[in-house]
Amino acid sequence: MKRSVAFSLGALMWLCLSPGGESGDKGKKPAVDMRVPFTQLWPGAAPNAKGGEPADNPGIYIYPAKKPNGAAVVICPGGGYQNLAMDHEGVQVADWLNGHGVTAVVLQYRLAPKYNHPIPLTDAQRALRYVRANAEKLHVDVKRVGILGFSAGGHLASTAGTHYDLGSKDASDPVDRESCRPDFMVLMYPVITLTGPFAHNGSRNNLLGKNPDAKLVDSLCNDKQVTKDTPPTFLVHTTADSGVPPENSVLFYMALTKNKVPAEMHIYEKGRHGLGLALKDGERDLPFASWPDRCIAWMKGRGILDEKK
């Protein structure tokens, strides 16, 4: 028991706030109070772990709703695949979802420079499997497990929605028997493409390193990976976003509609990159601040928030 508490505190100190959901000055950001225990995604060392520090151990923070309706969302904070914006793109989002009966699961995934692709995807897939494997305990419907991501976390979420499997029924680990396909996606000012004028080069370099193989880069331009089986998706961006151009969301939306995947997109005129829920002074009055209500309406319309039967 003492060991797990000590590790949780260590993990807490490792997490940093990164304004705008992108990379900031290392070592200068305050620790975030996650308020709930840290849950390891694997019982021992994670696959391909390069050490025993908190940064080597991916995990989740589970926020149960007081009145759960059966829906669950894995939240992927942004941070350019180098940091994690665990407060305004993590804890605050979990609180918002809890208010609508959704079990929220904030993902702490492994980051550059120590970890590159496919490690963050492996962590996200494991989180989705974990929620389904523990559905009864978490009061979750295995058919209403979604993923939500911001910025680079949006790239991770869209990667999970376009690169998945349905589980291995013969796996010795019961978690690995579960599907890692999200039932729906919410992508907030996401990085989608890794090539061309609309790419976020920082995220690409952190995820793939310098001079990656062109085929690998292309496989992670997720607008090119959409099929008819891609999950229904809700997208949000702003025209004023100078960090990740709104064309990223547009490209993904066009791919979804081309493949007849249910999709809804909101592009607001004003708002910087990395606004999260837009809870700061001077941001609450932006039209962008209406996106949570729009998202909840979309979820209700798709039956995601229906009471668990």
Percent over 70 (pLDDT), the chain: 90
Report yes or no: 72 and 60 within 8 Å, Cβ to Cβ: no
For residue 307, the model assigns a pLDDT of 87
Would you place residue 171 in the very low, low, confident or very high pLDDT band (cuts 50, 70, 90)? very high
What is the CB neighbour count within 10 angstroms for residue 172? 7
pLDDT in tens, 91-147: 999 999 999 999 999 999 999 999 999 999 999 999 999 999 999 999 999 999 999
Average the pLDDT over 65-88 and give the result: 98
pLDDT in tens, 146-164: 999 999 999 999 999 999 9
**Would you list the domain boundaries of the chain?**
2-301
- The topology under which CATH files domain 2-301 is Rossmann fold (3.40.50)
For 264, residues 6+ apart whose C-beta sits below 8 A from its C-beta are: 233, 234, 235, 294, 298
**Does residue 17 have a pLDDT over 60?**
no
Would you place residue 31 in the very low, low, confident or very high pLDDT band (cuts 50, 70, 90)? confident
Q: How far apart are CA 222 and CA 97, in angstroms?
A: 26
pTM: 0.91
**Does residue 2 have a pLDDT over 50?**
no
For residue 25, the model assigns a pLDDT of 34
Alpha-carbon distance values, 120 to 6, 70, 127 (Å): 24, 26, 11
What Rg value do the Cα atoms of the chain yield, rounded? 18
pLDDT in tens, 190-217: 999 999 999 999 999 999 999 999 999 9
- Token pair belonging to 301: 């319309």
**Does residue 9 have a pLDDT over 60?**
no
Q: Helix 152-162 crosses helix 201-208 at what angle (to 10 degrees)? A: 60
